[in-house]
Amino acid sequence: MEFFLRRIRNMTSRAMNTPFPSERALRLPASVTSVSKRAPAPSERSLSASRIGAHVKTLRMASGTPASRLAKLAGISASLLSRVERGLVSPSVETLDRIAEGLRVPVSRLLSDGGRRMDFCHVPAGRGITVDRVGAASDHRYELLGHLLSGNLFAEPYLVTLLPDAEPCVTLQHPGVKFLYFLSGRIAYRYGSKTVSVGTGDSLLFDATSLHGIEAVDSGPVSYLSVLLALRD
């Protein structure tokens, strides 16, 4: 036993007398006064602002709240809200809190990473939000049936109903892909230079960048499901 104890003492003594330098704390050059986390690059900041702005705009549209109304509820200028929605500015925490209060949603909904979450939207029957669409005829009623916040995909599903004596409208044109499924009635639908007759159970899928719309109503009432898919700017 004494033999082993002597071996251990000898090994400890040699370890303490090692020729290698002892461990020391890292010393920074005199020119360096502090170390901070890397500031996000301009592209990262703009991407974050774009995502927040897209969330704000989508939630506002889904709630049917005009931009001027939300700006008033949030106590901010309409121009500031416009810049936020377009991703031109990174809003302060106070501004985000005010916007969230105006939308009646938690601030976390505006800050959530759409790429890491799955959206689920349930709209009960008859609870779609009636909206005015730019370029659409006033006698074509659009009911928004949901919204998508995740990722770069922009989705707008509508239930479209033609009111009595609705006028034809063939001047629709916008980015994205459109899918139509006809629930009732029969119409002549124009796409570019083509015209097709469609009725209950028929569907259309096309690039919405070409002129399109209802050319004539053959029999009513006319209603159809319209889904627009596009990539966010």
Residue ranges of the domains in the chain?
A: 43-112, 129-231
CA–CA dist 115, 130 (Å, integer): 29
CB 218 within 8 A of CB 197: yes
pLDDT given at position 23: 41
pLDDT given at position 211: 93
Radius of gyration of the chain (CA): 31
pTM over cut 0.95:
no
10 Å Cβ neighbour count for 69? 14
The two structure tokens encoding residue 218: 């053959």
Tens digit of each residue's pLDDT (9 = 90 or more) over 73-92: 999 999 999 999 988 888 88
The two structure tokens encoding residue 182: 């006809």
CATH, domain 43-112, list 3.40.50.460, 2.40.40.20, 3.30.379.10, 1.10.260.40: 1.10.260.40
Q: Tokens 């159809």 sit at which residue?
A: 224
Which CATH superfamily groups domain 129-231? Jelly Rolls (2.60.120.10)
SS3 177: strand
CB 169 within 8 A of CB 140: yes
The two structure tokens encoding residue 192: 């570019």
Tens digit of each residue's pLDDT (9 = 90 or more) over 83-135: 999 888 888 888 888 898 888 877 777 776 544 455 677 788 888 888 776 66
Residue with the bigger pLDDT between 14 and 133: it is 133
